[in-house]
Amino acid sequence: MTASERGRAVRPAPTAEVIRTRGLTKRFRGGQLAVDGLDLSVPRGSVFGFLGPNGSGKTTTIRMLMGLITPTAGMATVLDAPMPQSVRTVLPRVGALIEGPALYGFLSGRDNLVRFDSADPTADPRTRDRRVAEALERVGLAAAAGKKARAYSLGMKQRLGLAAALLVPRELLVLDEPTNGLDPQGMREIRALVRAVAAEGTTVFLSSHLLDEIEQVCTHAAVMSRGRLLVQGTVAELAAGTRGRLVVLTPDAAEAARVLAAHGVTDLRTTGDRVDGEPPAGGAEPDEPLPKLCAALVEAGVRVRSFGTERGTLEDAFVALTGEGFDVAG
């Protein structure tokens, strides 16, 4: 067997999952259960949204996946290796931004990246200056590269942390609330950057409490609440799992709402000429067809300008699963 063949034999062919957990649990001192029996599967090549309100266990899960804290029970593999046992071999293949970047405030943005890159045993020092410049350009910090990091805004620090994660091509990019502190334009730029990184073949694991963020950039998602996994799958599957809302446009909105309520439509909302609600799903006539609802409106003299359903969204899925509201803005 040649040396190259021996090298290839060390690492088996990659599996279809870059992250896999079974029964992953973390209980802190005092009995606080932060993550409860998590079974997570992140497909290779996906942009995976890890979704949940603040305090749902997202960051604790990421810290276990990255080997920063030890699970109380269960198992996790990252890039086909058990964690935290394989930290030294796995982390060089992972770019990560967790709980905000740890920066040297007395150094410039450029010098921070040089310091980070110098600490990476896999990074080629001969290409360091070029890679640092490219990373700064990618996150929109080229003009502020010489500025001391302590003078950076929260959003600029987030960008610099992301630049550090992108200095060397990685198999997996883990981002914990990457748009935290950014203005709307900055959020759009980071989302475009995530798409570009994914297009290059990197799997992206993105934690967020913003539904809009997940829905715009992710191919797959998992929903966490109070330390437990509620559901996971493709974003399209999760959204399709909820019925769309019935929407009626009419100048007779009040009468339309009355008629719809009489025919089992619930959660009715009226805004100007728009009436929307949840179509009936039970009662004496389960799954009442939409044409019958439309006919009832016309028979009552309601002037119907538009009638139909809007597709389900990730927000609809989350509310249906948890009964809670959620941050949608982004």
Name the residue among 58, 28, 67 with its Cα closest to residue 40. Answer: 58
Residues of the chain with CATH 3.30.70: 246-311
In the chain, ranges of CATH 3.40.50.300 domains: 3-238
Give the model confidence (pLDDT) of 64-103 as tens digits. Answer: 999 999 999 999 999 999 999 999 999 999 999 887 788 9
| Range 3-238 has CATH code 3.90.1170.50 | no
Task: Look at the block and give the residue holding tokens 């997996």.
Answer: 172
Closest to 172 (Cα-Cα) out of 77, 53, 311, 261: 77
- Given a contact cutoff of 8 angstroms between Cβ atoms, the answer to whether 30 and 24 are in contact is no
- pLDDT > 60? residue 172: yes
Least confident piece of the model among 55-64, 154-163, 184-193, 232-241: 232-241
218 — pLDDT class (breaks 50, 70, 90): very high
d(CA 161, CA 155): 10
Q: What is the pTM of this model?
A: 0.73
- Cα angle 97-98-102, degrees, rounded to a multiple of 5: 80
- Chain segment 27-72, per-residue pLDDT in tens: 998 888 999 999 999 999 999 999 887 788 999 999 999 999 999 9
| 122: helix, strand or coil | coil
Beta-carbon count within 10 A of 14 CB: 11
Distance, in Å, from the CA atom of 49 to the CA atom of 330, rounded to the nearest integer, reads 14
Instruction: Please state which of the four CATH numbers 3.10.590, 1.10.10, 3.30.70, 1.10.260 is assigned to the domain occupying 246-311.
Output: 3.30.70
- Nearest 5°: the CA angle 280, 286, 289 is 70
Helix (H) or strand (E) holding 317: helix 314-322
